[in-house]
A and B are shown apart, each in its own frame.
Chain A
Amino acid sequence: QLVLTQSPSASAPLGASVKLTCTLSSGHITYAIAWHQQQPEKGPRFLMNVRSDGSHNKGDGIPDRFSGSSSGTDRYLTISSLQSEDEADYYCQTWDTGIHVVFGGGTKVTVL
């Protein structure tokens, strides 16, 4: 069964970096994922796709301080030079054969 696992929360000081992890269930090591950001009281927005080789492509207007990487079944989102507006929920998402989509439980990022 395809499952995405995320830590519930993460925090870092203003201007620092934070690295979020999304772990694919075993047997799905080749799967790509997408990262989405949801700021408080707003709808989600697409940040980037991250593939198993670590390559990633960002959505329009996503700042350079957002980057993606990969290792094994882990897919990462790194936010550098944290800004106050980066305080948000971050969801990873993948897709299975056919038309099924799976979301992780989300990570709440707090900027200290």
Chain B
Amino acid sequence: EVQLVESGGGLVQPGRSLRLSCAASGFIFDYYALHWVRQAPGKGLEWVSGISWNSGSIGYAESVKGRFTISRDNAKNSLHLQMSGLTVEDTALYYCVRAAVGDGVDVWGQGTAVTVSS
């Protein structure tokens, strides 16, 4: 079974850091690009960051550029998002998602909640 399982969310104070992780299983990990997508309470889906299969191409939404860093470890089938300088606007459910080359997102994790509050 294809699975993406996020972890690392929690309650954090503004300005602090947090590291999210995503463990993948059930598919050939390094065939796919991976992304982080978030959803603030009551809002729509927002792309946060993405990384190609070999980490050769990386992108960030303007809202997180310079504060978040995406990385992957193909040997461990894992994806990470290092978040720093967190603000209340970063409060959201963060999803790890998979995308095939030339295709859209086709697998979603269950999400991990990040709450930024003092």
Contacts and interface: CB of A to CB of B under 8 A. Distances in A.
B-side interface mostly: strand
B37 interface: yes
A93 to B, nearest CB: 6
B8 interface: no
Given A101-B35, A101-B47, A103-B46, A94 B104 contact: yes
B44 A91 contact: yes
Which bracket fits the contact residues of A?
A: 20 to 34
B108 A45 contact: yes
B44 A95 contact: no
Interface residues of B, number: 25
Interface string B36-79: 01000000111100111000011100000000000000000000
Given A49-B103, A95-B99, A102 B47 contact: yes
A77 interface: no
A-side interface mostly: strand
Interface in A42-60: 43-46, 49, 59
A86 B58 CA distance: 35
Contacts of B59: 98-100
Interface string B89-101: 0000101000100
Interface string B107-118: 111110000000
Contacts of A91: 44-45
A31 to B, nearest CB: 10
A105 B105 contact: no
A32 interface: yes
Interface of A: 32-34, 36, 38, 43-46, 49, 59, 89, 91, 93-95, 98-106
